[in-house]
């Protein structure tokens, strides 16, 4: 390999060249490292969120639990895990983090003393309202270089990966 650096130019060219270089090295003959693109897009999204001062109370990795509890108040941690297709231990970490933030309350189930149910606190409900506004603004910018049809197609393809294509 020659010690030629990346091309000069716009950030998009830089990122494309960098991703292309990684893909050519790691992808072997297939030259198709889809996970690399998904991971890079996710990382860029999270960096953008962290830099936005409007997201001070919103953490992307935690927002799913309060959203689920808004829709399904009083469900168990195991039910949340099933709904999100996640490991119970992972959801347990999210539950504990949301409890520490004061967003979620865990109480014994009135029907089965061995189970606990989860509910949003008033603080959690306020955070969800704030999140709706901030996310709507963010979504208007996210993928602004995609047409509405491309956004829908991307969403369908990502959903397909999430449901059944990621081992």
H or E element: which one contains 80? helix 77-84
d(CA 64, CA 102): 15
Please report whether residue 26 resides in a domain: no
Please report whether residue 87 resides in a domain: yes
Q: Which residue has the higher pLDDT, 75 or 26?
A: 75
Max CA separation in the chain (angstroms): 68
Please report whether residue 21 resides in a domain: no
Read off the pLDDT band of 5 (50, 70, 90).
very low
Can you tell me the mean pLDDT for 99-118?
93
Read off the pLDDT band of 123 (50, 70, 90).
very high
Please report whether residue 23 resides in a domain: no
Structurally, the chain folds into a number of domains equal to 1
Please report whether residue 29 resides in a domain: no
For residues 48 and 37, the answer to whether their CB atoms sit within 8 Å is no
- Which tokens go with 19? 């991703």
For residue range 29-80, list pLDDT tens digits in order. Answer: 545 677 777 888 888 777 777 777 766 667 777 888 999 999 999 999 999 9
6-10, 14-18, 86-90, 158-162: which has the highest mean pLDDT?
86-90
For position 108, which CATH number holds?
A: 1.10.10.10
Please report whether residue 49 resides in a domain: no
Q: Which residues make beta-bridge pairs with 108? A: 116
Please report whether residue 138 resides in a domain: yes
- Residue 158: domain span: 56-167
């Amino acid at each position: 390999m020659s010690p030629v650096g990346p091309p000069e130019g716009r950030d998009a060219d830089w990122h494309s060249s960098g991703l292309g270089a990684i893909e050519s090295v790691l992808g072997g003959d297939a030259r198709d490292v889809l996970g690399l693109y998904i991971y890079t897009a996710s990382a860029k999204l999270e960096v953008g969120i962290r830099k936005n001062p409007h997201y001070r109370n919103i953490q992307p990795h935690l927002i799913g639990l309060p959203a689920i509890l808004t829709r399904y108040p009083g469900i168990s941690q195991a039910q949340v895990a099933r709904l999100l297709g996640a490991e119970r231990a992972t959801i347990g970490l999210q539950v504990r983090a949301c409890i520490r933030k004061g967003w979620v309350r865990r109480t014994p189930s009135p029907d089965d003393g061995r189970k606990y149910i989860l509910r949003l606190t008033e603080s959690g409900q306020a955070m969800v309202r704030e999140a709706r506004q901030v996310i709507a603004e963010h979504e208007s910018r996210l993928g602004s270089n995609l047409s509405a049809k491309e956004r829908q197609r991307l969403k369908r393809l990502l959903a397909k990966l999430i449901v059944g294509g990621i081992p």
